Each structure stands twice: as structure tokens, then as C-alpha cells.
A and B are shown apart, each in its own frame.
Chain A
Amino acid sequence: MNLDGRKYVILVFFILVGAIYLIRLFFMQVVDDSWKLRAQEIAEKRKEITPPRGIVFDRHDKKVVTNRSYYNLMMKEEDIHDFDTVAFAKLVGWTKQEVKDRFYQIKKGEGRYFNKNINKYQDNYQPQRAYPFIKELTIDEITRIAPHLERFPGFYEDLTSMRSYPYSGGANIFGYLNEVTKEELEEDAFYRRGDQIGRAGIERYYEKELRGQKGIKYVVTSALNNAIESYAGGKYDTLAEQGPALHLGLDIQLQVYGEKLMQNKRGCIVAIEPKTGEILALVSAPSFDPNILVGRRNIGKNYPKLLLDEGKPLYPRPLAAEYPPGSIFKLLQSLIGLQEKVITPESGFPCTKSMVGCHNHPNANNLPDGIKNSCNPYFYYVMRRIIQQGKKRSIFADAEIGLNIWYDYIMSFGLGSEFETDVTGMRSGLIPNSAYYDKWYGHNTWAFSTIRSISIGQGEVKVTPLQMANIAAIIANRGWYYTPHFVRSIGNKGPLPQFKKIHRTKVDAVHYEPVIEGMRRAVYEPGGTAKKAQVEGMIVCGKTGTAQNPHGEDHSVFIAFAPMENPKIAIAVFIENAGFGGVWAAPTASLMMEKYVHRKVKDKAKEQMIVNANLLNMKARPKKKKP
């Protein structure tokens, strides 16, 4: 037996195993990436840091939407082991007994909920769920505690940031935040479960800006899922970036003042700076304190209440309530008539009351007086001249041409379509054209007499309060406007590009002067419909209106701008069921204008009268003639 050969058997065996191992190691470590991925899965965690949302400022750089951030010291019982009560108590500055009590309190209290089905409180404490052990720690406190938390597995810090509204106003403008839905999670990879998303208003429209950039931190975690250290010394980490601040054209003090004036009323106030199209105030009454919709628990408690409230506080009245504009429409008919040269400022029409009703006033011998008196027959004649220009022999064909000319003019005032702007929940209103009536009555079956009620802003015409305010702004500007909008600057980058585009109406600037004179006379001259709109120290131009309401008392409408030269504010006030526009809407608008231009209101009696008025339960009175 040759045993010497057997040493080679052993050597070959060694070499074989060594070679197989090296090949295997080469494949595992160099060729195959799956183990690297597995290792990442096991030991590296990607932590996302959500920055606080962007802050919102008003036009005077007052913080109107801000964040309140605080840390919660979270506790997850499942992960707690080897808990040193004494050391922990020392760390958080409590006594040992207090720590023990807090554990007991969480177990017996935090998870408890009221079970409606059995009318009893039930324990719902779960060890695998995280509970805030200490709530609302300041940054100083948490920086002292956090570095030592590694010694206490099961405890970790959690930054919480919530919205806060220092002025308690503008809820309908700002919107609110809520947790993302499952659909939103799937749609946008930005969001993680439990993230907040803007639900309405500016929060929703500027969601992408306000949410900022998430920071990403790669950490090495232990088998107990505790972060041990940052991965690769933080080489791949990115910092969280807070969203840019939004600067609004809003005047928060004016807004709050408007909400105060509108208490116990339904309706809205829209104020616009004519020069820029910036919305100064957008009051929707009844209003509510935006702070009641902060946080999951508050939303759960208050949102259903708001939703079911018969005053519909969540309904964006200034944007979505479509009403016949009433007499304020006469301003537009005047402008179109002048531009179409079917009337002159000196045109006079008798108050005949045969075709449309009117109130008692002297005949208007010129356009400004027509406006001052808000004479219905006057504008019936104006409108008839616009519609029936005699271009075709058939009155039907003639009316079709006339209406479409009128329609083009009206559309240039931003009516009948939605503004491309940064509010949500807007509606377009309705301006009928020939196609509309053709559909309704049939082609060549209608003429001016059929559609005459639109001449005084009744009938098919529907306009939103925001559009009404914009009409005031256009007249104040003598023929042009910027799309009404909230945000004048995102960070320091200026507004969205569409807000820098000027819109010009099809009516030349010269034709505005007689109309403005009419509006002045309406406020200041005897027989004017809006004398309650006077403001000391400046000339107010305004026009009352009454929107017909088949369900009850008519709605009170008033649009105005001031001062007459170099206007600073254009306003529309719309009060539901308040009757004639001059009674409630005009004084309300005057207070708003005074507040904005003079920063304080001198006429305290008027203020008190409006603030104290309760117009919620106005009963329908016998119909009067529409002024």
C-alpha cells in the first residue's frame, strides 16, 4: 500500500475547498449585488425629515399662518428592555414615582376611548404602538435629553409641527391641513403615512411650495431598530428645506374686521387693491376660527359640525355663490352703451315703468343721474339700443348680433368664466350669449324683449361676489385689471406669472368717467341710493344692487371703490336676505374702506349698528320694486 500518495489527496482536498470558498466569496462580495441590498435592508434605514411648512405673511408682513413646533418624547413599550427607571427619571428631571405614574397613566388613559356601542370607556392600549411619553418639549429640553436616549431603547424623540393662526381669521382663505389619504399616498411619492396635506384654500393651492423639501438621513440601525450612527458619516444625507414663505396681498386686520362686521349675517365681503389685483380681504360669513381645524383630533371633532351647520361656514361664498348681480350690472351696460356709441353721457330716458318697474324718482336726463337713481327703465332703453342696433332687418337676427357684441364686452370684464387664480372652490357665474338663448328658446325666436331682464342684472345672468369686486376694481382702474389673487410673492420670487398679466376691457378709459361720476352721485347727491356709504376724508364711488331671491328677502349688494382719484380699494359686499343694497351692504362697505384707507374707523355709531345687526332670521317681506 502506497500511503505517500495520500498526502496529495489531502492537499488537493484543501486546495479544492479553499478555491471553492474563494470563488463563492468573490461572487457574494463582488459579483452579486443582492447581498448588498439585503444588508441595506437589514441595517440601513432611510429616515425622512419633514420640514415645517412654509409661513404665510399678510401685506404688512404679519405672520398669519405659522407653525408651532414641539417635540414629543415617544414611548413604544414593545421595544423597551432593561429599563433603568432611576436613570431615566434623572434624565428627564422627574422623580422615579412620576415616571412610574406616567406609565400607568398612559396605559390607563392614552389608549382609552369611548365606545359608543356599549356606552363605556374601553382600554385600547397596545404595546406595539408609540405613545407620547412627554408632550410638547421645547428644543432646549429635547437637546439635553435626546443624546442619551440610546441608552433607553423604546424611547425616541419626535418632532411635531402644527399650524397656528395668530389672528383667528381667514379660515376660508387659508384652508386647513389634514392627513393624506391612501389615494394621495399612491399618487405622489412625496407623502408618507401620517403626512399632512393642504385641504383647502391657499394650503391646497400652494401645497407644492409650502410643503418644502424633505430631508433624507441614512442611518445604521441595530437589530433592535435603534439608530446607531449616520451612514457613511452622513455623506448621502440631504437637509430638509422649509417651503418658501408666502406673502399675501391680504390685510389680516381688514379681514378680521370684516369678519367682525359680518357676524350674525350671511354673506361675504371681497376687497381688492385695484392697482395690483391683490385681494385685501375675502370674508365669508358665517366664519370660524381656523385654529379649530388644527390637528387630527380637532378636525375629527369640529369638521362634521362645520359641515352640518346650517350657515354653511365651509361654503366659499365669495367664490362660489352665484347670484344675479342686480343693479350693479347697470354700470356695465352704461360702459358698453358708451363704447358702442348707442348712448352718450348726456343721453336721457324717461322713467316710464311700462316695461320694467321702478321706484319713484325724477327722470334721469343724463347717464350719471341714471346711475345715481338706479333707474330701471333708463337701462332698459340703454340695453335695447345695445341689443337691437338695427344691423339686420329681422329683430331676431338683429338681437343675436347685438347680444353677442354685448357678450364679448361682458366677458372682457372677467365674468362668465373662472379666474385663473390661486383660490380653490371658485365658480364661473353665467353670462348668456346667443347660443345659450338658442338652446333655451330656439334659433330666431327671441329678441330683446325676451331677454330684457338681463339689462338690470336679473334673469339668466349670474355673477360671483369675487367677480363683483373685480367690476369695482376695473371701474376704479378705468378699464383694466389684474386677476384677483392672494399671493403677491412666493418667497422673494414674486407672484405666479399669470398675476403679472394685465387684462384690458373692450371699453376705452374715457367712457369710465361718466359712470364713475354716476357712482359718486349715488353716494353723495340727494336721491342717491348709497348715501350710507360715505366715508369722511375721501370720495367714495359706489353702486347698490339687490339680488332677487325667490326664497325670501332679497340679497343686499353693494360695490364701491375709494378714493375716487387714485383708488386704493375696490370692494363688493353681499349680504344675504338683507333687502335693499343701500341699507346694510353700503355702510358695511364704507366701514371696510375706512378701515383700510385710514387704518381706523371714526364712525363708531355706524360700526356698532353693523356689528350688532342680526340679519340671520330676516323674514320675507312683501316684494317692493327693484331699485
Chain B
Amino acid sequence: MRREDSLTQHVDWWLLSIVIIMLGMGIANVYSAAYDPDHPNIFDFSQKYGKQIMWVGISIFLGFLVFLIDSDIYRKFAVPIYLFCFSLLIVVLFTPPINGARAWLGIGSMGIQPAEFMKIGTAIALSRYVSTVNVKNQNVQTVFIALAIVMVPMILILLQPDAGTFVVFTSFFFVMYREGITFDPLVLKVVNLIPGVRFKDTWVGSHFIPILFYVVFLSIVTLLMSGNKYEFTFMQGVLIPGFYGVITVITVIALVAYLILRWVSSKREQRRVLLVIITGWLLSVAVSTTVNFSFSSLAQHQKDRIELVLGLRKDDDGKDYNRNRAMAAVGSGGLFGKGYKKASVASVRSNHVPESETDFIFCPLAEEWGFMGSLVIVFLFMGMLFRIIVIAERQRSTFNRVYAYCVAMIVFYHFAVNIGMNIGLAPVIGIPLPFFSYGGSSLMSFSMLLFILLKLDSQRRDVLF
């Protein structure tokens, strides 16, 4: 039932307005941050603000193109789109590195980052795949393919290396959680290897996201405790390295838990309890060991970052320079800020906060507009996320809903990590703030991500399944 309506009919004006507002604020903010008194014209294309306006123009043009194309194309051509982005990701690995990473395709500042577009490709491919899966009838293969769609690009991105985008890709796991794609078949495969055990489902498998949280939590604890710096005195002067301490604590907790559970549970359940405990213990030890091992094999600058984020070290003018300057800029904003173009710490000219027009774009914003500005930004993003969830939940097609959730999670990740690192709540990982950070690739990819969603949503009634 295709209708020959105008392109803008059934468009979600709320979301579109938020996007436009953000683009406008983004330009104003880049203009302020990168302002050069020698080139006061905002349309000066030799300057970053001029270029940003150009990129916004291109992005809106791309969005317009998206609106011209029938939304069904994404579902139909999901695999070619994915493969196209994927091939770019491979090609980029053979380019000369810029700033130590092979992330750019093209010449100089006009280049694009394939990893940014891979997010769109992965979102579409994942949506396409999940929409074909019968949630009630999952097996190892379905889980494996879903994971592969997300994780193969992740490996390539890690090869660039681009830690930021790598982290962003983990957002797709949340989408899987929402859609009920579980680890369960994989977990069952392993668990059922144990003689005499035959489960139909496990709690671990079906709630892998909560477990992932546990893993992250345990990782942080392990990092805090591990390393040769932190040793415990155990039983009259016997020093045990922190990592073994963590293992010991896990083991003790497991034993105590087993004793308590055995006491409260019936005889029939005891075997199951034992199994859960053993699994939990094994998993914990595995996580702890992995974290400990991978931490010690990390590059020094990554170690430093982790240690700084965890508050294990204070080095305001050295390793913690970026975060310290960023937080000073944000914190100095006060309630109402210093005023437009008045940032003294975060402006590009003062250069105290590095990359203040890209990854640390929140700094000039927070410094110039104060807490009120921060409030507006957080509310805008919250509004955008809510609206995307609302849109997601009203879709008739699974493809559309999964895609919407992908968009929501990607935007959320960028928001959370980017602002988090500006206020010292997240590690300093270079990912841009959507629609605010200077840079063509980020702007174009986010615009396309959002405009595709808007297009899909505007045609949601066309879909019959």
C-alpha cells in the first residue's frame, strides 16, 4: 500500500527538531571554540567552523537523499551495505597511518573514517539478521552469526587501532539483549558437556548483559587490586600479590555462598546449586585472570589511562593532562558560564584542552554556558534517546525496531563516554559527541543514522510484517 504522499509526511518532527537544533548548536559551538580573530567570518572555509558548516550542509543533503530513497532498500540491501562498509574497513588498514592510526580514507582533512560508517552498516545488518531470527528457537548458529556481525568489524577497528569506536560497537550487545538474542545456546553447549548435565536453558545465558555488567565490575575490582603495586599482608607478613588476593576473595565468596545455599536449598536442588557456584567461580576466575593478563599486556599509555580513570594515580600535568584540563574547563563554567566565545581554558586558541573542537567539544560548551548549558545538552540527548525508544517501540517491523535500538544505543554510548570523559567519569577515549564535535565523518554518519531512522519511521505504516 504505497502512497504517493509528500516526503515529509509522517516524519517524527520531535526527533527531526532535536537533530536540527543540535546541528545548529554544534556549528555555533565549533565557531566559538575554534574562533580565530584573524578570520572572523563564520563562513570562512579555511577555518574549522567554515568547514563544519560545509559538513553540516553535506550531511543535510545526505539526509535529503535518504528521504528520497524508499526505506525498504535498507532491509533489502542490508548485506551489500554491510559488505561495502566492511571492505572500506579492510582497505583503510592498508593506508599510511595518521597520528598512529590507520583510520582515514582520503586526503588530509577531507578524509572520512570508514569505522564511522561501519556503525550504520552493522546496525542495518544486525537489524536485518535479528528480524529473520525466531527468538523462541535460537541455536548456536543464530547467536554466532549475530555476534559475528558485530565482532568481526570490531576486530578490524581494533587493528586500526581505534579504541573509541571499538567500545561503541559493544553497544550492539545491548540491542541483542533487548531483542532476546541470548548467549544461552553457547552456554548450554559448554555446560551440557559436563556428564550427566542436560539443561534446556541457563540463567547465565539469557541474562548475559547483567552478567556482562558483573564482568565489568569484576574487571574494575581486579584492576584496582592487581598489579604489583597493591599487595596485601596476609596472615602475619605473608605478602600476596593483589591479583591472587582477588582470586582468593572470589574463592572464599564462592565457598561461603555454596555453604549457605546448600543449607537453604532442598536436596534435589543441591546439584544445580553446586553447578551454578562452580560455573560462577570459574567465570569469575577466568574474567579476573583475563583482565589481569590483558592489563599487563596493554600498551603503557592505555595502562596509564586506566590507572588514571580508576584514580590510582594523580598526574595533573603529565598523563592526566587532558582530563584535568577538560574538567577544569567544565568546572570553571559555573552556573551560567563565562559567556559565548569567552572560554579561557577550552578555546582552541588557548589550547589548554587538546582537541577541544572535536573529542572535548563539551568543554567549551560547558565553560561558556555553565551548568545551564550542560543541562540543555543532557536534556537534548535524553530527549533524543527517549524519542528514539518511543519510535522503536511503535514500529511494526522487527527490522525497524532493532535498527532504532541500534541508533539509540550508539547515540547513548557516544553521549555517555564523551561527556563522561569530560567530567572524569569515563576513561579518555577519543569518540566524538554526536552533532557537536567538529568532523565530517562523525557528522555524516550520525546524520545518515538518524535520517535513515526517520525515513524508516515515516514509512512504518507501509510495512506489513
Q: Which residues of A contact B (CB under 8 A)?
A: 1, 3, 6-7, 9-11, 14-15, 17-18, 20-22, 24-26, 28-30, 32, 34-36, 38-44, 220-224, 228, 231
Contact = CB atoms under 8 A, between A and B. Distances in A.
Interface stretch (B47-55, B142-150, B214-222, B377-385): B377-385
Given A36-B331, A36-B332, A38-B324, A11 B350 contact: no
Interface in B203-226: 206
B389 A7 contact: yes
A30 B332 contact: no
Query: Lowest 9 CB-CB distances: which A-B pairs, in order?
Result: A35-B331, A39-B332, A39-B328, A38-B328, A29-B371, A220-B344, A223-B351, A28-B331, A43-B344
Contact of A6 (B177, B332, B412, B424): B177
Interface stretch (B63-71, B72-80, B96-104, B415-423): B415-423
Contacts of A25: 330, 366, 371, 374-375, 378, 423
B350 A43 contact: yes
B420 A21 contact: yes
B366 A228 contact: no
B178 A42 contact: no
A223 B327 contact: no
A153 to B, nearest CB: 11
B244 interface: no
Interface in B364-406: 366-367, 370-371, 374-375, 378, 381-382, 385-386, 389, 392-393, 405
Interface in B300-335: 324-325, 327-335
Nearest to B349: A228
B352 interface: yes
Nearest to A151: B38
Main secondary structure of the interface of B (DSSP, over half): helix
Contact of A32 (B331, B345, B420): B331
A148 to B, nearest CB: 12
B258 to A, nearest CB: 28
A52 B292 CA distance: 64
B416 A3 contact: no
A378 to B, nearest CB: 85
B382 A14 contact: yes
Nearest to B37: A229
A551 B424 CA distance: 82
10 contacts: A10-B408, A11-B386, A21-B419, A25-B371, A25-B374, A25-B423, A34-B331, A38-B324, A38-B328, A228-B350
Contact of B393 (A7, A15, A32, A223): A7
Contact of B370 (A7, A9, A29): A29
Contacts of B375: 22, 25
Interface in B409-431: 409, 412, 416, 419-420, 423-425
A38 B324 CA distance: 9
Interface of B: 135-136, 174, 177-180, 206, 324-325, 327-335, 344-345, 349-352, 366-367, 370-371, 374-375, 378, 381-382, 385-386, 389, 392-393, 405, 408-409, 412, 416, 419-420, 423-425
A393 B136 CA distance: 138
A234 to B, nearest CB: 13
Contact of A39 (B135, B136, B331, B393): B331
Contacts of A34: 331
B178 A15 contact: no
Contacts of B412: 14, 17
Contact of B328 (A9, A22, A42): A42
Nearest to B339: A232
A25 B327 CA distance: 10
A11 B328 CA distance: 31
B378 A222 contact: no
A21 B425 contact: yes
A36 B345 contact: no
A199 B137 CA distance: 96
A29 B335 contact: yes
Contacts of A26: 371
Contacts of A17: 412, 416
Contacts of B424: 24
B19 to A, nearest CB: 18
A6 B345 CA distance: 42
Contacts of B420: 21
A220 B345 CA distance: 8
A29 to B, nearest CB: 4
Contacts of A10: 174, 178, 389, 405, 408-409
Given A20-B425, A21-B419, A21-B425, A42 B352 contact: yes
Contact of B327 (A7, A35, A220): A35
A27 to B, nearest CB: 9
A240 B131 CA distance: 75
A74 B352 CA distance: 24
B76 to A, nearest CB: 26
A14 B385 contact: yes
Given A10-B174, A11-B389, A29-B335, A43 B330 contact: no
B116 to A, nearest CB: 22
Contact of A38 (B135, B331, B334, B423): B331
A197 B179 CA distance: 79
Nearest to B393: A7
A361 to B, nearest CB: 88
A220 B324 CA distance: 18
A562 B460 CA distance: 117
Contacts of A231: 344
Nearest to B329: A39
Given A18-B382, A29-B371, A38-B324, A44 B331 contact: no
A221 B350 contact: yes
Contacts of B135: 1, 3
Contact of A28 (B345, B416, B423): B423
Given A11-B389, A29-B335, A36-B334, 15 more contacts: A10-B178, A10-B405, A11-B386, A21-B420, A25-B374, A26-B371, A35-B327, A35-B330, A36-B331, A40-B332, A42-B328, A42-B352, A43-B345, A223-B351, A231-B344
Contacts of A43: 328, 344-345, 350, 352
Contact of B350 (A15, A21, A222): A222
A18 B389 contact: no
A224 B350 CA distance: 8
A1 B335 contact: no
B202 to A, nearest CB: 13
A44 B180 CA distance: 54
